[in-house]
Amino acid sequence: MVTTTDPGYFLSIPWCATLLSDTSYKTVPSRFGQPTPDKRGEFFTRTLATSDTITACIYQTRQSPLSSQAQPLVPASGRNTSVGGTGKVEEVRCFLATRSGVNGFPGIAHGGFVAAVIDEVMGYLINANLTAARTEVGASAAKGQEASTNATVTVPMTGSGESTAPMSSVMTAELTIKYRRPVPTGEILLVRTWIEKTEGRKIVVRAAVEDQDGQVLSEGLALFIALRPGVGGPKVKRKRNGTGESAKM
C-alpha cells in the first residue's frame, strides 16, 4: 500500500465518510509524507510515511463560529494586538491508517508511537493558530495599517485565556499520556485535539485517540512553551565524535 493524503481513501470507509461530511470541518494540508529541505519534522514527513507504518493521513480543522465577528486588527505601539477575522482554530482532528510497522505487541500500536502521534497533532493545532495570527497581521499591513515592532500578537486560542506573548514557534515541554485501551493497528484511528488554556508563553493542550465507535483509547495532556522572538528552535552543540549534548531552548 502506498502512503496517501488523499481524502478519497477515507471517504471509502463509511464511518469516516460520515464524519468527513460535517461541513463545520475543513480538510487541510499536512506535512505527512512531505519532506522539506531543512529536514524539519522528518519523523512524520519521512520515517513514519511508509507502507508499513502510517499508510494514509488527513487533517481537518474546525474554526470558531464567532471568528467572523472579531474586531479588526489595529496595531498600536506598546499595546497587545488581538487577532480576529481569520479565526481561531478550535479543534484539529486527524484520520490515520496504520500498519504492523508501529506495533508494540501484535496488532497493538507501540505506546511511544501513540504518544508521538498525539504530540504531532497537538503541535499542528497550535501552529494553525499561529498561522492564522500571522495571516491577519499580514493582511492588516497590506491594507496600509501601520504595525509596530513593539506590539505583541494575541494568538487566538479556544480555551481559557489568550496568549499575548510574541510567538514564532513552540516546543513541547511536558506530555502526559493515559493509555485507556489498546490502540489497534491495521485500523483507522481518529485523533482529536483542542487547547484547554493559555498563560503567557505556556499553552496547555488536550487530545484523544478514538476508534470508529468514538471510544477513547488514549488521552494526552501537554504543556507547550512558545519560543521567544528570534528563536527558531532548539540548538544542539555537537561534540567532535558527532554525538549531541542536551538541546538548549
Domains of the chain: 7-163+182-198+206-218 (3.10.129)
Q: What's the burial of 244, exposed, middle or buried (CB within 10 Å: 0-12/13-18/19+)?
A: exposed
Indicate if the pLDDT at residue 41 is higher than 50.
yes
Half-sphere exposure of 182 (CA within 13 A, CB side): 12
Overall average pLDDT of the 30-49 stretch: 86
| C-alpha to C-alpha distance for 156 and 69, rounded to whole angstroms | 13
Alpha helices in 143-212 (DSSP H): none
pLDDT band at 33 (very low <50, low <70, confident <90, very high): confident
- pLDDT at residue number 201: 86
The DSSP symbol for 50 reads S
Specify the higher pLDDT residue, 242 or 189.
189
> Residue holding cell 522528518?
42
pLDDT band at 232 (very low <50, low <70, confident <90, very high): low
Indicate if the pLDDT at residue 168 is higher than 70.
no
Q: What is the largest CA-CA distance in the chain?
A: 60
pLDDT band at 217 (very low <50, low <70, confident <90, very high): very high
Q: Would you say 219 and 230 are in contact if contact means Cβ atoms under 8 Å apart?
A: no
* pLDDT tens by residue, 79-107: 232 333 345 899 999 999 999 999 999 99
Please tell me the pTM assigned to this model.
0.74
Specify the higher pLDDT residue, 107 or 150.
107
If we measure between CA atoms, which residue out of 188, 243, 228, 217 comes closest to residue 12? 188
Instruction: Choose the weakest-confidence range: 2-6, 28-32, 77-81, 85-89.
Output: 77-81
Between the two ends of the chain, the Cα-to-Cα distance in Å is 39
Instruction: Supply the mean pLDDT for the chain.
Output: 78
- pLDDT at residue number 78: 32
Ranges 23-27, 82-86, 236-240, most confident: 23-27
Q: Would you say 35 and 45 are in contact if contact means Cβ atoms under 8 Å apart?
A: yes
Please compute Rg for the chain using Cα positions.
Answer: 19
Q: What's the burial of 144, exposed, middle or buried (CB within 10 Å: 0-12/13-18/19+)?
A: exposed
